[in-house]
């Protein structure tokens, strides 16, 4: 495998970098380095070289994957983001609402900040908005626009529905799409185009925000599309979307929705706190899944909900908050011993990281985007510490900071103190180390796949992953001191009482005939929603015999929801399922529903 031309330089400097090399914050471009207390002349670091070389490659790689003119997105409609041009092992030639929204948030930030103010960039953003408006209205296996369809995670790149089996619904997509388009809307308002925002953008945004407001406390597949439960990432991005959505609504005279969005945002903020694992110092990524909960989900949450005006607020999990820093250390440490390419480094060295330590997808490897995310959280923290002129070490974040200064004590350290200078330099060097780790396994030419092998470092899984390129660009921007505008996280208070969203329900009566039973055997139903016990065989919903041949039960199920279910018989723990496939219904928006089934 061939690497960048600076790989030999990287190899010669890495032993020093991980033994205590640190980089000044002064611009990074000509940073000075220090080993111990000796300072060498200014020179470019490995991270500097990587940023300079990879930045244009990442931007070009991202644009190549956007239709209709991207060189690797043949067949994609205008504004459609392909996840990857890979069509086999794995087939990623689809468009995901999540990935597309994250990618276009990068492009919108570049355009609105003046980093790329080209006409082509503006045209691409407008094409994205138009494409997403089409996808919103497209009936799909999750439902229609008014009945669950906005939770559909992926579509074909020609703007048709993907109808095969998948992990549905995924409720982060509408929130992320709303955030991306709201960023564009705010810029347009600032530049005197509020009428177009109200007429064109607001109807798209409102559909997503209304979906979030109604469905935020329903189960969802996580951003890795594997666990169906509540997800910290989803909860946090939903919270952000409703906050900034309420502010936008107020600014364009749509005041009727503001209080509703704010109320549900309060509930989400309250619910966010429940993911914290205080005894072990990390955010549990998902409420289900049977794993440790140590997951890149949480680090990506911190950078996707970064608000530079919020300081180091822990309730919104800001990058420099004590909880986010403690969580980062626990997450990174979980990968130190499971990847061969991390062997031999010191216990506080930057390492390659993946999605979660129990991962088996493609045998479980480091991902470029997760390793970039660690660096980005640290760069975001540095932005805030420099702006406020101090940093705080708490009992919660103490273990994180003691990686860099073993004797540091809890307290607040101003920029004039040696402790502040030492810690800030060390964190900057630490962050650069994660970029350096990705640089080690970036081949000549700079193409970024999804993963690199945990033993050899060779790229694996999907080639030219669009999200990998986007993650590189946001990490590089944060290293340069860029932060997106505030979204309203400053000064928020966690409600003293958490309230569940009162989702409207429909009374669904399930009638079943043809289910003959033996003595002691009962008939039950279970399915994909909480009311049907989420496919439980130990606590399913019992049916009662109504008459001689019909078994029946009435259950309150969320309205406007696609539900899969199946009948089963239980006899002293022995389970007998009816034959495949699963049954499926879509509940109406209100009223009652009666289903008449026959045992298969």
Domain count, the chain: 2
Q: With left for phi above 0 and alpha for psi between -120 and 50, is residue 229 left, alpha or beta?
A: beta
Task: Please state whether the peptide bond connecting residue 566 to the residue before it is cis, i.e. omega within 30 degrees of 0.
Answer: no
pLDDT tens, position by position, 25-63: 333 332 322 322 223 334 568 999 999 999 999 999 999
Q: What's the mean pLDDT when you consider all of the chain?
A: 91
Answer yes or no: do 183 and 246 share one domain.
yes
The pLDDT value recorded for residue 43 is: 52
Answer yes or no: do 266 and 166 share one domain.
yes
- Domain membership of residue 344 (yes or no) is yes
The DSSP secondary-structure symbol of 367 reads B
The pLDDT value recorded for residue 593 is: 93
CA–CA distances in Å: residue 317 to residues 301, 342, 564: 8, 28, 35
- Domain membership of residue 361 (yes or no) is yes
Which of 222, 313, 322, 380 is catalytic? The answer is 222
Write out the DSSP string of 130-189: HHHHHHHTS-BTTBBTTBBGGG--EE-TTS-B--S------THHHHHHHHHHHHHHHHHH
Answer yes or no: do 460 and 521 share one domain.
no
pLDDT tens, position by position, 110-163: 999 999 999 999 999 999 999 999 999 999 999 999 889 999 999 999 999 999
Which of 225, 263, 358, 521 is catalytic? The answer is 225
Answer yes or no: do 464 and 514 share one domain.
no
The pLDDT value recorded for residue 139 is: 95
d(CA 458, CA 453): 5
- Domain membership of residue 399 (yes or no) is yes
357: Cα within 13 Å, side-chain hemisphere: 13
Q: Residue 409 belongs to a domain with what CATH number?
A: 1.50.10.10
The pLDDT value recorded for residue 3 is: 41
Instruction: Judge whether 333 counts as a catalytic residue.
Output: no
- Domain membership of residue 489 (yes or no) is no
> Is residue 166 marked as binding?
yes
Range of the domain at 112: 7-479
pLDDT tens, position by position, 96-106: 999 999 999 99
Query: Is 212's pLDDT higher than 80?
Result: yes
Q: Residue 515 belongs to a domain with what CATH number?
A: 2.60.40.10
Q: With left for phi above 0 and alpha for psi between -120 and 50, is residue 487 left, alpha or beta?
A: alpha
pLDDT tens, position by position, 158-209: 999 999 999 999 999 999 999 999 999 999 999 999 999 999 999 999 999 9
- The band of 499, judged by pLDDT with boundaries at 50, 70 and 90, is confident
* pLDDT mean over 11-35: 33
Answer yes or no: do 50 and 140 share one domain.
yes
Among 37-51, 502-516, 561-575, the minimum mean pLDDT is found in: 37-51
The DSSP secondary-structure symbol of 257 reads G
- Domain membership of residue 496 (yes or no) is no
pTM recorded for the entire structure: 0.82
- The band of 93, judged by pLDDT with boundaries at 50, 70 and 90, is very high
Answer yes or no: do 465 and 535 share one domain.
no
Instruction: Judge whether 521 counts as a catalytic residue.
Output: no
Answer yes or no: do 459 and 532 share one domain.
no
Of 93, 117, 257, 98, nearest in space to 168 by CA: 98
Q: 364, 354 in Cβ contact below 8 A?
A: yes
Answer yes or no: do 550 and 433 share one domain.
no
Taking the alpha carbons at both ends of the chain, their separation in whole angstroms is 55
pLDDT tens, position by position, 304-357: 999 999 999 999 999 999 999 999 999 999 999 999 999 989 989 999 999 999
The pLDDT value recorded for residue 254 is: 94
Of 90, 165, 177, nearest in space to 135 by CA: 177
The DSSP secondary-structure symbol of 340 reads G
- Domain membership of residue 532 (yes or no) is yes
């Amino acid at each position: 495998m061939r690497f960048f031309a600076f790989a030999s330089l990287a190899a010669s400097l890495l032993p020093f970098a991980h033994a205590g090399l640190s980089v000044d914050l002064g611009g990074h471009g000509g940073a000075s380095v220090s080993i111990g207390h000796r300072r060498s002349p200014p020179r470019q670091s490995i991270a500097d070289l990587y940023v300079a070389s990879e930045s244009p490659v990442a931007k070009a790689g991202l644009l190549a994957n956007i239709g209709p003119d991207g060189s690797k997105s043949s067949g994609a409609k205008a504004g459609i983001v392909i996840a990857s041009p890979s069509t086999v092992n794995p087939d990623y030639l689809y468009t995901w609402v999540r990935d597309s929204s994250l990618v276009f948030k990068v492009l919108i930030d570049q355009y609105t900040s003046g980093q790329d103010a080209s006409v082509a960039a503006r045209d691409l953003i407008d094409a994205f908005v138009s494409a997403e408006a089409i996808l919103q209205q497209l009936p799909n296996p999750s439902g229609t626009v008014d009945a669950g369809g906005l939770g559909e995670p992926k579509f074909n790149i020609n703007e048709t529905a993907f109808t095969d089996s998948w992990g549905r619904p995924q409720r982060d997509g509408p929130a992320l799409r709303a955030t991306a388009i709201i960023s564009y809307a705010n810029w347009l308002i600032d530049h005197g185009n509020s009428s177009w925002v109200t007429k064109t953008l607001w109807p798209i945004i409102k559909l997503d925000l209304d979906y979030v407001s109604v469905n935020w406390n329903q189960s969802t597949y996580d951003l890795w599309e594997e666990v169906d439960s509540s997800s910290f990432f989803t909860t946090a991005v939903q919270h952000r979307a409703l906050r900034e959505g309420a502010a936008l609504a107020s600014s364009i005279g749509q005041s009727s929705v503001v209080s509703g969005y704010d109320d549900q945002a309060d509930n989400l903020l309250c619910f966010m706190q429940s993911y914290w694992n205080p005894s072990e110092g990390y955010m549990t990524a998902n409420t289900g899944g049977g794993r440790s909960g140590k997951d890149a989900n949480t680090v990506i949450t911190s950078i996707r909900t970064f608000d530079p005006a919020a300081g180091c607020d822990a309730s919104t999990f800001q990058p420099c908050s004590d909880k986010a820093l403690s969580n980062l250390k626990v997450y990174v440490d979980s990968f130190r011993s499971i990847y061969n390419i991390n062997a031999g480094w010191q216990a506080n060295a930057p390492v390659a990281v993946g999605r979660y330590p129990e991962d088996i997808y493609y045998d479980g490897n480091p991902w470029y985007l997760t390793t970039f995310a660690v660096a980005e959280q640290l760069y975001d923290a540095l932005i805030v510490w420099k702006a406020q002129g101090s940093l705080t070490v708490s009992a919660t974040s103490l273990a994180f900071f003691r990686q860099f200064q073993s004797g540091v004590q809890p307290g607040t350290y101003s920029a004039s103190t040696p402790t502040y200078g030492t810690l800030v330099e060390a964190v900057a060097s630490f962050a650069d180390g994660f970029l350096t780790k990705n640089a080690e396994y970036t081949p000549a030419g700079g193409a970024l796949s999804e993963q690199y092998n945990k033993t050899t470092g060779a790229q694996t899984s999907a080639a030219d992953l669009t999200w990998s390129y986007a993650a590189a660009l946001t990490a590089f921007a944060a290293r340069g001191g860029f932060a997106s505008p505030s979204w309203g996280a400053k000064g928020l208070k966690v409600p003293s009482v958490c309230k569940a969203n009162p989702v409207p329900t429909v009374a669904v009566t399930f009638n079943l005939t043809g289910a003959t039973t033996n003595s002691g055997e009962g008939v039950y139903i279970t399915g994909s929603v909480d009311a049907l016990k989420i496919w439980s065989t130990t606590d399913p919903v019992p049916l009662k015999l109504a008459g001689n041949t019909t078994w029946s039960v009435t259950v309150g199920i969320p309205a406007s929801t696609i539900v899969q279910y199946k009948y089963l018989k239980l006899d002293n723990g022995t389970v007998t399922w009816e034959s495949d496939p699963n049954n499926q219904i879509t509940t109406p928006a209100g009223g009652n529903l009666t289903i008449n089934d026959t045992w298969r």
